[in-house]
Amino acid sequence: MRKILGLVVLVGLVGLAQVEITFWSAPNPSQEVFWRRMAEAYMTEHPEVKIQVRPIPETPTSEAGILAAIAGGVAPTASENVFIGFGDELVRSKVLVAWNTFPGWQELVKARHMEETLKAWLFSDGNYYIIPMYVNAMLVAWRIDILRELGYDQPPRTYSEVLALGERLKAVYPDKFLWLRSELEVPTWWQRWFDFFVFYYAASGGRPLITGNTLTADDKAAIEVLRFFKTLRDKKLLITETLATGFEAGKTLMTVLGPWTFPWWRENYPELVYGETFVLSPPPVPDWYPAAEAIRTFADAKGVVMYAQAKPEQQQAMWDFVRWVLSDPEHDLVWVQVTGMLPARDDVATNPLFMSYVEAKEPALLAYAAQIPYAVPPFAHHQYVEIQELMGLECIYPVLVGELTPEKGWAAWKAAVEATLK
């Protein structure tokens, strides 16, 4: 009886001493699996910590879900899936904790080889509020099987080469298109990440659209991108209506692609094999782009933040957990295996731990790894939604349908953004 009582008291004491923390993973099953697995492993080593992992409630978006939780006073201790633009909004609202204020920050940066990667995540107050989890460089996938039929053994590099390929395609397959991008005519702000920004960063050498609160865009590159889109559409090489299936069915030849597509393809389109039916390349560039220069692209990059609502002991416990997860490269390997995305590390393309896995299991990821040094994350400005939506409304749609020339469309966007930034 005494033993049982003692056990009950002991369990009660452990429960009292236990720190309970909550981590919200991205609303994506594979990322939830990763964080659950990490939390379970950590809790077996650290019974004094209880970690609850849940996906971010998408009500209706993950950003809105996080915002509602903070407003309701029920924010988690930490969450992932935060990109730098939304992070800027959270920092301005003073709801985040800077990771670099915890002891051991520098050791983590070194252990995860993040010195270079982190430069893009520094906020204007000199703090790091987001630890990047992944940097998905956006690449262009090409149906190499059809390209070979058309007499090509590699994808085109410049706009002229793309248009020449398009002419050849239409001559042989009049019903096929080069590119399906139905979202190009939709003003939804985040869709610009997967069309305009991909081509703009390639054409401009990665020049930021906005620095601080000032427009710093490369006008020549932006206008050239718009003219390229317009020419593709006029020549019926770009289709902006919806197709039931495009690239996967071989009805289109190219698509802007992130690595998260591969698990889905494996399940639904096993006939799509890297090197046989498709290859990857950086985005096409204007003809005047230097041949020897590396081509940049947009990077879909998100990371982990900690919320100021959590109690100090919860923040400390979360920091210990996150540091434990990210300090061990084996955990990053699990990340690659589970999510199919590459971790945000400087050594991802050189570390044999990742490369041996990628070469053996997912060779298409090699192209993404090689592109990471040339991948530009979203710009950090709290008005990112309006700025990017204006791009669709004032510029891309009017240019595509012929209401404005590329020059006038770009000027209209700049004028609208300048009025917004005031």
> x/- site string to other proteins, residues 269 to 298, per CB under 8 A?
------------------------------
H or E segment to which residue 415 belongs: helix 406-421
Total residues contacting other proteins by CB under 8 A comes to 35
Q: What is the dihedral of CA 251, 235, 222, 411, to 10 degrees?
A: -130
Instruction: Select the span of 44-52, 234-242, 259-267, 318-326 touching other proteins (CB under 8 A).
Output: 234-242
95 near other proteins (CB under 8 A): yes
Cis peptide before 406 (omega within 30 of 0): no
CA dist 238 and 249 (Å) reads 16
Q: Which residues from 65-94 bind other proteins, rule CB under 8 A? A: 67-68, 70-71, 89-90, 92-94
The minimum distance between CB 406 and other proteins, in angstroms, equals 18
Residue placing its CB nearer to other proteins in the complex, 203 or 387? 387
263 near other proteins (CB under 8 A): no
Interface with other proteins (CB under 8 A), residue from 181, 251, 296, 345 = 251
Residue placing its CB nearer to other proteins in the complex, 91 or 344? 91
Residue placing its CB nearer to other proteins in the complex, 188 or 268? 188
Q: Which residues from 154-193 bind other proteins, rule CB under 8 A? A: 182, 185-189
Encoded tokens for 329: 């490269």
415 near other proteins (CB under 8 A): no
CA dist 185 and 194 (Å) reads 13
CA dist 141 and 279 (Å) reads 6
Rg (CA), the chain: 24
CA dist 20 and 323 (Å) reads 17
Interface with other proteins (CB under 8 A), residue from 145, 161, 386, 407 = 386
Q: Do residues 180 and 246 make contact, with C-beta atoms less than 8 angstroms apart?
A: yes
408 near other proteins (CB under 8 A): no
Residue type, 247: F
44 near other proteins (CB under 8 A): no
The minimum distance between CB 26 and other proteins, in angstroms, equals 18
Residue type, 64: A
CA dist 259 and 364 (Å) reads 8
Q: In degrees rounded to 5, what are phi and psi of residue 64?
A: -65, -35
Residues binding other proteins (CB under 8 A): 60-61, 63-64, 67-68, 70-71, 89-90, 92-95, 182, 185-189, 239-245, 251, 385-386, 392-393, 397-398, 401
